[in-house]
Structure 1
Amino acid sequence: AAYILPGMCIAAYVLWSGIGHLTSQTVVNPAFEQYQTDSLEFSAYSAQLLLQHEDPYTASMAPAAQRFRISPRINTPTMDGDRVSVQPYPALSFLVYVPFVLAHVQSMIWVDIGFQLVAMLLVLALAPVWARTLFGLFFLVIPEYREFAVGSVTDVVWLPLMIGVAASWDRRPALAATLLGFACAIKQEPWFVVPFALIHWWQLDETPAKSTAWRNLGLLAGAFLLPNFPFLIWHPAAWLAGVFSPVLSHPVPLGSGLIQLQTSGFTALPLGFYTVLWVGTLALCAAAYALWPNRLAWLPFIAPALVLFFSPRSLQNYFVYWPVVLAMYAATAPQQRVGVPQEALPSLRARAAGIAAGIAIVLLAAVGAGAAGQQVAIAAGRVALDPQTGYVRGIDVRLNNPTARPLAFRFAVCARDNAMVFWRTDQSLVPAHDTAILHLRANDIVREIPAGDGFQVVAFAPQDSLAVYTRPLRPADARGRGLRNGRLISAVNAFEMLPVQAPLAWTADPRAFLDGRLAVVHDGPFGNALRFRLGAQARRAPLSQTFVPNGRRFAFWIKPVPRGLHSSRAGALRVTFVDASGREICCNAPPARDGVWNRYDVEMPRAAVTSANPITIVVGPDDRVLHGALNAEFGGIVEYE
């Protein structure tokens, strides 16, 4: 029973993860598997560069998007309008993928799933019998543990190492130091455990010279430098710039911590305020640990999450794995802490108490100053929609600068899923103690934002560490009346994950554009057309749009494309009008000629068209007619009032 139930949990997790990965929206076919984070994108690309004898820290990561057919929007934007394009993590973050790239593993997502499985097996091996099933359920019940591994989140790579650190923290400090060094060589989150480790080793070592503590520090440093030293020697400045780029590159604030108040538009504090908070919280936690090492023995394994809660960058993956590490320490602590000193050394206690008091005063002063200070304010006004696509192409904003110095801003538009694109403005400098009305415009159609799900306007002043957000916006006419983009204007929209051209304002499975079932061609009646190319067993890929019609009459164009001796009948590609209840209103007429554009005119019943009820147009294969492959084109649709 000690192994059967945990083993069943692991088997269920493996099955769940495998099915989840294979059915993920990002998995197109074995040739196209999209990475959903720049961390895995950069790690996989860096592994490839290293095998080509190139230093990943001197190469730009920008070509990785094209290499893996990924939308550049997943790369972290910076406050100066650029995107992070350097390798931002220590070397072991990509070295772990090198053997799998050499082995021609198709997707590094499978490697991340493997690390998650290793973490579960370690838990099964190291946890007490009574806790094994609980840990297994822990991985199953919390969906992030599957979704993050499948979703290209690479933090799972350091999880097995930190589980080992927690299980050997008191019992085998030398092993814990080595494992912690390797974890720090993967990503920066484990760095926050290092101050607690130093305090712990100092307290454990009762010799005057503290030789054991120094030895453990040497093991930690050696483990960290072992994978990083070649790159540090190769190009030291590039390595330092890359590893510290999470701070030096000024990424835009984002996360699920305290910064949510800022990114939701509730406050506009300088980002330095959050830096003071997280640094002060780290110092306060370390001082408290030095004061009460027994009562707070668990603190090193949750402190990183506490500290990062106050950081301007506090993504959910910064938090989700620490409860596992904390639980592992809690489960093994009774056996580990036998013989461990129960109180802090007197000299260390006195110093820690003074430090803690000073930090608390500084934090209270920072919070008070931030709350009482004058804040820059931004509000959105008129929103201009593109008449062709219904996307937002212009916004007027009112920006108030109450400070005593002029501020230079850059402006971006942020979608609800945090995709961010910078727009141009007619004015960037706002004088001191002044209010300006600014006109923001998308640089081109690629940067226009779909309005239906809402968006925000963000003003960045990088030199002053300011990021000011509007409250979420959704124009009253975001959905708009009338058909949008009936002429099939297509682009690689900067707010979409799809890295290939697709008709704007229309909805379709993005995988269909990557595997060839759908493709934009340029021989349509209005220029663009959408080609449907489906095999007999291919998954259907309909195109659709929902809108409130202005009239009852529509005209659309379909062309069957001959393929060898066989061709698709025009009627095999069907245009269906569906009302709000899901009832079909009408569909296209029988087919006409192959290889040419066939125009169809339809008129919906008067009772089906009202001023309030939307309809949906669905373009796709007609299974009642289609009994084989489909090779046809949709040339667009026109609405007549």
Structure 2
Amino acid sequence: MDLQVDTDVQAPDALAILVAVMLMDFGREVWAVSAPGTWLMPVLTIYVWITAIGLVVVGLSTIDLGEHGWAIAAAVTGAIGSTVLIAMISLYGQPVTTDVGQFLHDATALAVSGQNPYQHRLGTNATTFPTPTIGGGTVTKYSYPAGAIVAMLPQYAVGLEGVRLTPTVLSVGLGVVMLAAADDEFALFAPATLLAGNLVTWPLNGLTDAIWIFALCLAAYWWSDRLLWSAVAYGFAASVEQIPWFIGPFLLVWLLRDRGGHAAGKWLAGGLATFTVVNLPFIIWSPEAWLTGALQPLFGSGSPPVHQGVGLSALTVFGAYPIAKWAQTALVAVIAAVALIVYYRRTEFRWAAWVSWMPILLVHYRSFATYFVAGLPLVAIAYFERGEYAA
């Protein structure tokens, strides 16, 4: 018998079932961290599993996801977000074990007390997972621009010193921004990107990437019709983490080619002004200390971190074919230049600008899996926005 499959109907259903599978894995993890004698986490486990099984039923039903997909995606996102927020509250006050989380805690606390975080050793008390350097030591200095410290200052200024709080709230905010951009038919793509690689739970484990990812998602969401706000959001993302620096040239080329010099100048001025305002107090405080910290991950000033990552560095990490750091840094420059030329000449790649760091950082000597998983919410927003503003 010849079965005729209507892919226009089947594709959203298949996505619903796929998200249900991912949600079950999320529910398994919630169950795994539930301690005996407590009631809250087991209840959350049940809540997540009911949502996952309900999504399976939806995927196998004839419910029109072209009409109801957004509401269903919002319900799934709500289940994920509320679970993570409650888990964050239950962990409040407990120390984080990653150096990046400990560094941000120490740096923000120092800034609140009137001390320059770029001039202090950080994370020396409770860092279970330090970053080793080629010289045999570990990274002990803040190695980012100052944006994350600025983002954390309000909560620390009122005495809420849990480094998980702001990043967790913003990780849930990612779901909100994606839903704002989403269409009905494939809206479930939004919670799928929160679940992939456990991105939504990163702040619970001491990772703070949600701060810059959230800002960059806003920049992508506002790109087509609120260019100045997009520039401000991009400028803030670039003031938090170095990864957004890689996409700036691609976005500028896009604007120059498709929207003219005035739009490009407006966006560039807004982004640079935001970056400067956020970082200027720390630059004035100690220009050399700020510059050393902000550039350290890219160029490895001082004793650089060891090779690590899922890209080309894997050959060195596993001893298959060691590659010098300088060679991989040079490759980054070559790949970036080639990618920019191709991007200028091929307009069909325009929306890929939002994740253009992925092929570039794949050859960097530090290419953690998190660098690439971090871009998945941007993939969702670019996908939705591309459909709405195809021209």
> Is 1:48 paired with 2:109?
yes
Q: What residue in structure 2 maps to residue 152 of structure 1?
A: 206
Q: Alpha-carbon deviation of 1:332? A: 1.1
The SS at the match of 2:281 is helix
Q: Is the 8 A contact 2:69 2:187 kept in 1?
A: yes
Contact 2:85-2:169 at 8 Å conserved across structures: no
Distance 1:337 1:222 in 2: 30
Identity, % of aligned positions: 22
Q: What is the aligned partner in structure 2 of residue 189 from structure 1?
A: 243
Equivalent residues of 2:235, 2:272 under 8 A apart: yes
User: Are 2:391 and 1:335 equivalent residues in the alignment?
Assistant: no
1:345-360 equivalent positions in 2, closer than 5 A: none
Letter in 1 for 2:312: L
**CA deviations over 1:115-156 (Å, ceiling 9, x no partner):** 10111111112222333233123323x242133232111111
1:85-484 aligned within 5 A: 85-140=140-195, 142-206=196-260, 210-246=261-297, 247=299, 248-249=301-302, 250-293=304-347, 295-338=348-391
Correspondence 1:479-628 to 2 at 5 A = none
Bigger mean CA deviation after superposition, 100-109 or 234-243: 100-109
TM-score, normalised to structure 2, is 0.77
Match of 1:10 among 60, 77, 87: 77
Q: Secondary structure at the match of 1:74?
A: coil
1:73-98 Cα shifts (integer Å, max 9, x gaps):
52322111222222111111111111
> 1:275 corresponds to which letter in structure 2?
T
**Quick one: which amino acid aligns to residue 315 of structure 2?**
L
| Partner secondary structure for residue 65 of structure 1 | coil
Aligned counterpart, 2:99: 38
Call closer, same or farther: CA 1:256–1:46 in 2, change over 3 Å.
Answer: same
**1:65 correspondence with 2:124:** yes
Report deviation, 1:286: 0.9
Query: Counterpart of 1:372?
Result: none
> What is the deviation of 1:337?
4.0
* Cα separation, 1, equivalents of 2:75 and 2:82: 10
Matched to 2:216, the amino acid is M
TM-score, normalised via structure 1 length: 0.48
Contact persistence 1:171–1:336 (CA under 8 A)? no
Distance 1:275 1:282, change over 3 A: same
User: Which protein is bigger by CA-based radius of gyration?
Assistant: 1
- Residues 48-86 of structure 1, C-alpha deviation per residue, up to 9 Å, x if partnerless? 11111111112222xx332xxx13x52322111222222
Task: For CA contacts below 8 A with separation 6 or more, give which structure has more relative contact order.
Answer: 2
* 8 A contact 2:88–2:168 mirrored in 1: no
Change (3 A) 1:99 1:172: closer
Change (3 A) 1:132 1:50: same
Distance 1:160 1:110 in 2: 14
Shift of 1:224: 0.8
User: For residue 16 of structure 2, what is the aligned residue in structure 1?
Assistant: none
Q: Which runs of 4+ in 1 moved over 6 A?
A: none
The answer as to whether partners of 1:153 and 1:317 remain within 8 angstroms in 2 is no
For 1:435-487, what per-residue CA distance to the aligned partner results, in whole angstroms no more than 9, with x for missing partners?
A: xxxxxxxxxxxxxxxxxxxxxxxxxxxxxxxxxxxxxxxxxxxxxxxxxxxxx
Residue in 1 that maps onto 2:18: none
- For residues 110 and 291 of structure 1, the distance between their equivalents in structure 2, rounded to whole angstroms, comes to 43
Could you list the runs of 5+ residues in structure 2 that have no partner in the other structure?
A: 1-67
Cα distance in 1 for partners of 2:117, 2:267 equals 30
Give 1:38's aligned amino acid. D
Higher percent of residues as strand = 1
CA distance in 2, matches of 1:189, 1:198: 16
Indicate if the aligned counterparts of 2:124 and 2:140 stay in contact, CA closer than 8 A: no
- Alpha-carbon distance in 1 for matches of 2:259, 2:386: 19
Which residue, out of 125, 130, 153, partners 1:75?
130
8 Å contact from structure 1 (residues 173, 201) kept in 2: no
In structure 2, the partner of 1:84 is 139
Deviations 1:147-190 (A, max 9, x none): 32321111111122211222233333333222111110110111
Match of 2:51 in 1: none
3-state SS in 2 of match to 1:298: helix
Q: Which amino acid aligns with 1:6?
A: A
SS in 1 for 2:247: helix
